[in-house]
């Protein structure tokens, strides 16, 4: 017969040690231990077995607990191990704010899928709230479908990722550039310099929504830039701004030893600078043809479309010696779909509806470093690393 000890009360140094001294003195054998502290309140669970006098042990524990100002509850357990909970998943919930109703709805959906919440870990409390729920049971597909519906109902972001070894492994993270790593669309900024912004913006919107062939639309938009001086391209490069949280995301991934790359349907005139300034490992983008200091309206070589992006992800992974299960892809437009599907984890960031529906996870919040929460990285660890390097 095993015994579950549940200890609750105010936490302080020495409580756990004192209680385990009592267990040791009575020859108890440990079968399981779990402990969590929430705002200085202790919850300690210990499963023990042994041939000692159970009544004597209980009396000794109760006496020691009283001295420590904590309470201990005793629950007899059967000798059998609990049945395995099936597959496990990390369910990441993000919101600004994150209301109790959202948690209630998520818990109901999980129960309907046959999944049970085993642990909840806070990842962030500002500028958004983020929690990691470790759940057992339920299939990946059904969990994603049910929780995606709840995310819409509660206006929160929810991601589901299998709890596998790959979550702890070194990874390759590849980002789209325009409207993902950087704010806005560079080609529209160039079009503003050329006086054709409205026309280019209209075609861009149709292409990103998947209504137009990307290569054909890109060549048509670039043709409108014919005659634009290189000095105008330099002005646009200086105007490009990273998405909030973008620099933190890349800096943290590099600290973790991850490889980071970008693939863009945009242009090397911008991505070359991004690669140098952020220390990116890989980059691929289109090259604008320049003759006599002016754009010709042509793109050199093969266009980086949705198929080429997926190829680049595989190529970068091979160069890093990583499996595709260890890859993460982040994008917002239809030309990112193949890349998101090929990746071990595909993340839609402030994406078009067609992309959100196809991705493994979707983020609608404006902070790119929220991606770190999907990888299980708490904000306090990021801040501690930044402070140490300051």
Q: Phi, psi (5° rounding) for residue 160?
A: -120, 125
Report yes or no on 195 lying in a domain: no
Report yes or no on 377 lying in a domain: no
Q: Which residue has the higher pLDDT, 252 or 208?
A: 252
144 lies in the same domain as 260:
no
Report yes or no on 49 lying in a domain: yes
Question: What's the pLDDT score for residue 312?
Answer: 98
Element (H, E) at 53: none
Question: What's the pLDDT score for residue 166?
Answer: 86
111 lies in the same domain as 179:
no
Domain boundary among 77, 97, 118: 77
Of 54, 59, 60, 50, residue with least CA distance to 27: 50
Could you write out the DSSP letters of every residue in 184-236?
Answer: S-HHHHHHHHHT-HHHHHHHHHHHHTTSS-HHHHHHHHHHTTTT-BHHHHHHH
Is the pLDDT reported for residue 84 higher than 70? no
CATH number at residue 342: 3.40.50.1000
pLDDT digit string, tens, across residues 43-64: 999 999 875 557 889 999 999 9
Paired tokens of 211 = 């209504």
Q: Which of 45-49, 111-115, 204-208 has the lowest mean pLDDT?
A: 204-208
Per-residue pLDDT band at 214 (split at 50, 70, 90) = confident
102 lies in the same domain as 62:
no
Give the pLDDT mean for 286-297. 97
Is the pLDDT reported for residue 245 higher than 90? yes
Q: Which of 237-251, 310-324, 351-365 has the lowest mean pLDDT?
A: 351-365
Give the pLDDT mean for 103-125. 95
Question: What's the pLDDT score for residue 90?
Answer: 96
Question: What's the pLDDT score for residue 52?
Answer: 52
The set of residues, in sequence order, having a beta carbon less than 8 Å from that of 159 and lying 6+ positions away, is 91, 92, 94, 347, 360, 361, 362, 363, 374
Report yes or no on 231 lying in a domain: no
Q: Which of 44-53, 109-118, 161-170 has the lowest mean pLDDT?
A: 44-53
Report yes or no on 379 lying in a domain: no
132 is a catalytic site residue: no
311 lies in the same domain as 179:
yes
Report yes or no on 366 lying in a domain: no
Q: Which residue has the higher pLDDT, 79 or 370?
A: 370
Give the pLDDT mean for 111-131. 94
Question: What's the pLDDT score for residue 202?
Answer: 84
Domain boundary among 167, 194, 222: 167
Catalytic residue among 11, 157, 176, 360: 176
153 lies in the same domain as 18:
no
55 lies in the same domain as 178:
no
51 lies in the same domain as 158:
no
Question: What's CA 262's distance to the chain center, in Å?
Answer: 17
Is the pLDDT reported for residue 176 higher than 70? yes
Q: Which of 139-148, 177-186, 196-205 has the lowest mean pLDDT?
A: 196-205
21 is a catalytic site residue: no
Domain boundary among 122, 142, 167: 167
CA distance 92 to 162: 11
153 lies in the same domain as 13:
no
Domain count, the chain: 3
The CA-to-CA distance between both ends of the chain, in Å, stands at: 54
180 lies in the same domain as 326:
yes
Question: What's the pLDDT score for residue 134?
Answer: 96
Question: What's the pLDDT score for residue 82?
Answer: 52
Q: Which of 180-194, 199-213, 275-289 has the lowest mean pLDDT?
A: 199-213
Per-residue pLDDT band at 210 (split at 50, 70, 90) = confident
Per-residue pLDDT band at 79 (split at 50, 70, 90) = low
Half-sphere exposure of 176 (CA within 13 A, CB side): 33
58 lies in the same domain as 72:
yes
- Tell me whether residue 2 is exposed, middle or buried, using C-beta atoms within 10 angstroms of its C-beta: 0 to 12, 13 to 18, 19 or more: middle
Q: Give the residue carrying structure tokens 């093969």.
A: 302
Q: Which of 35-44, 96-105, 194-203, 293-302 has the lowest mean pLDDT?
A: 194-203
The SS3 assignment for 345 reads strand
Give the pLDDT mean for 346-351. 96
Question: What's the pLDDT score for residue 308?
Answer: 97
The average confidence (pLDDT) of the chain is: 93
268 lies in the same domain as 330:
yes
Catalytic residue among 11, 178, 281, 338: 178
Half-sphere exposure of 275 (CA within 13 A, CB side): 18
Is the pLDDT reported for residue 80 higher than 70? no
Residue 10 near residue 54 (C-beta atoms within 8 A): no
Question: What's the pLDDT score for residue 111?
Answer: 96
176 lies in the same domain as 46:
no
Give the pLDDT mean for 326-334. 95
CATH number at residue 94: 3.30.70.260
Is the pLDDT reported for residue 81 higher than 60? no
Give the pLDDT mean for 68-89. 79
Is the pLDDT reported for residue 85 higher than 70? no
Report yes or no on 342 lying in a domain: yes
Q: In terms of residue numbers, what domain contains 64?
A: 2-77
């Amino acid at each position: 017969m095993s015994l579950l000890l549940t200890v609750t009360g105010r936490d302080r140094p020495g409580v756990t040690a004192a209680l385990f001294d009592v267990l040791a003195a009575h020859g108890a054998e440990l079968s399981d231990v779990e402990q969590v502290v929430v705002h200085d309140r202790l919850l300690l669970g210990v499963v023990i077995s042994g041939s000692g006098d159970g009544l004597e042990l209980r009396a000794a524990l109760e006496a020691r607990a009283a001295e420590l100002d904590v309470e201990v509850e005793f629950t007899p357990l059967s000798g059998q191990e609990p049945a395995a909970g099936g597959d496990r998943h990390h369910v990441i919930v993000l919101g600004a704010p994150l209301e109790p109703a959202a948690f209630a709805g998520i818990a109901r959906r999980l129960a309907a899928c046959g999944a049970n919440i085993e642990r909840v870990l806070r990842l962030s409390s500002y500028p958004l709230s983020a929690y990691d729920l470790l759940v057992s049971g339920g299939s990946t597909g059904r969990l994603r479908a049910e929780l995606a519906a709840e995310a819409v109902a509660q206006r929160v972001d929810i991601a589901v990722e299998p709890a596998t070894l790959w979550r702890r492994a070194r990874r390759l993270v590849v980002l789209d550039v325009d409207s993902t790593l950087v704010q806005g669309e560079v080609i529209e900024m160039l079009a503003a310099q050329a006086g054709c912004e409205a026309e280019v913006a209209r075609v861009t919107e149709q292409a990103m929504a998947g209504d137009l062939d990307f290569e054909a639309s890109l060549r048509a938009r670039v043709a409108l830039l014919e005659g634009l001086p290189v000095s105008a391209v330099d002005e646009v490069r200086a105007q490009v701004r990273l998405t909030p949280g973008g620099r933190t995301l890349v800096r943290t991934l590099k600290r973790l030893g991850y490889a980071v790359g970008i693939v863009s349907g945009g242009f090397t005139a911008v991505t070359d600078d991004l690669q140098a300034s952020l220390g990116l490992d890989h980059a691929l983008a289109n090259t604008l043809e320049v003759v006599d200091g002016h754009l010709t309206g042509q793109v050199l070589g093969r266009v980086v479309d949705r198929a080429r992006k997926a190829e680049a992800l595989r190529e970068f992974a091979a160069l890093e010696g990583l499996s595709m299960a260890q890859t993460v892809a982040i994008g917002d437009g239809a030309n990112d779909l193949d890349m998101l599907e090929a990746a071990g984890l595909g993340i839609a960031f402030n994406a078009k509806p067609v992309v959100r529906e196809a991705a493994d996870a979707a983020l609608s919040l404006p902070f790119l470093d929220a991606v770190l929460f999907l990888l299980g990285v708490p904000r306090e660890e990021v801040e501690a690393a930044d402070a140490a390097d300051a």
